[in-house]
């Protein structure tokens, strides 16, 4: 059962909802009373999550889409609004991290990071913006939210991660530009920049990269996806007067 009603009668669209931060955020926003639109490529996983949320007396709709296709991104926003009548929040949690030395890195990995981390986020945000502006003027909350999940890699460049750094720096920069553009229209833009989080991202790495990362951070207690979901919930449940532009959250042990 939802433990809060603060987001009752609102609709939140969460990308990357099939696992990790996106999945945890969808659960948390549903618990806060929002109807959650679950977006990911893996239909089976978001169907399972939608069923789980319903069993807890929450409300969720599962819409599979490949957000690297601009038509698909626009289509999923359109479908959500057509079914639910509005859109109050967008959480961009879909992303991929593929690290490795630049010379040996497969070019398709670089393209994949740009396509998912940047283009997909741009496409769905573009489609959502008119509905968010409308929600900010018609809902009693008088505010709408976009929360972009970036990374501490969007603040500090590290070796063997040039393209990942570039995509996350881009997300952070775009978020701040949009924040300024839409502040007077009551659409809040926020960026959350986590450090190490226990998600599937590490499993996407080449074996050699996984080994190096595991050894480097062996003594670090990683964040849980729920830690990031809590930060997102703090942002979107804040009163209209309070806009949280940026949250950096690291494991206590991570230097």
pLDDT digit string (tens) for the chain, length 255 residues:
456 788 999 999 999 999 999 999 999 999 999 999 999 999 999 999 999 999 999 999 999 999 999 999 999 999 999 999 999 999 999 999 999 999 999 999 999 999 999 999 999 999 999 999 999 998 889 999 999 999 999 999 999 999 999 999 999 999 999 999 999 999 999 999 999 999 776 666 676 666 676 666 678 899 999 999 999 999 999 999 999 999 999 999 887
Tell me how far apart the alpha carbons of residues 213 and 161 are, in angstroms, rounded to a whole number: 12
Half-sphere exposure of 119 (CA within 13 A, CB side): 14
Predicted pLDDT of residue 139: 83
User: What is the token pair recorded at 10?
Assistant: 């609102």
Give the DSSP H or E segment for 163: helix 162-182
pTM: 0.94
Asked if 158 contacts 216 with a C-beta cutoff of 8 angstroms, the reply is no
| Residue 126 Cα to chain centre, angstroms | 15
Predicted pLDDT of residue 207: 67
Tell me how far apart the alpha carbons of residues 29 and 250 are, in angstroms, rounded to a whole number: 22
Asked if 144 contacts 238 with a C-beta cutoff of 8 angstroms, the reply is no
Q: Which residues of 184-209 are buried (b: 16+ CB within 10 A; e: fewer)?
A: eebbbbbbbbbbbbebebbeebeeeb
Fold for 11-249, please state it: Rossmann fold (3.40.50)
User: Is residue 5 packed enough to be buried (19+ CB in 10 Å), middle (13-18) or exposed (0-12)?
Assistant: exposed
Q: How far apart are the first and last CA of the chain?
A: 38
**At a CB cut-off of 8 Å and minimum separation 6, what does 86 contact?**
10, 11, 131, 134, 135, 138, 139
Looking at the annotation, which residues are catalytic?
164
160, 151, 66: which is closest to 105 by C-alpha? 160
Q: CA angle at residue 217 from 211 to 218, to 5 degrees?
A: 80
């Amino acid at each position: 059962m939802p433990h809060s009603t603060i987001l009752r009668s609102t609709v939140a669209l969460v990308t990357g909802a099939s696992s990790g931060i996106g999945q945890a955020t969808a659960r948390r926003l549903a618990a806060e009373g929002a109807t959650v639109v679950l977006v990911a490529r893996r239909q089976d996983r978001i169907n399972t999550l939608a069923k789980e949320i319903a069993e807890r007396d929450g409300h969720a709709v599962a819409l599979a889409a490949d957000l690297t296709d601009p038509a698909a991104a626009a289509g999923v926003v359109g479908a959500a609004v057509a079914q639910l009548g509005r859109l109050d929040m967008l959480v961009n949690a879909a992303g991929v991290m593929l690290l490795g030395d630049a010379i040996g890195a497969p070019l398709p990995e670089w393209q994949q990071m740009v396509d998912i981390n940047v283009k997909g986020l741009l496409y769905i945000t573009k489609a959502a913006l008119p509905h968010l502006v409308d929600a900010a003027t018609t809902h009693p909350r008088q505010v709408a939210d976009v929360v972009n999940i970036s990374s501490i890699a969007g603040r500090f460049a590290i070796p063997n991660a040039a393209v990942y750094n570039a995509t996350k720096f881009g997300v952070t920069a775009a978020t701040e530009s949009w924040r300024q553009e839409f502040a007077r229209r009551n659409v809040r833009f926020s960026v959350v920049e986590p450090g190490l989080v226990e998600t599937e991202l590490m499993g996407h790495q080449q074996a050699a990269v996984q080994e190096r990362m595991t050894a480097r951070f062996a003594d670090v207690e990683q964040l849980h996806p729920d830690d990031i979901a809590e930060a997102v919930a703090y942002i979107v449940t804040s009163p209209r007067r309070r806009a949280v532009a940026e949250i950096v959250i690291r494991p206590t042990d991570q230097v």
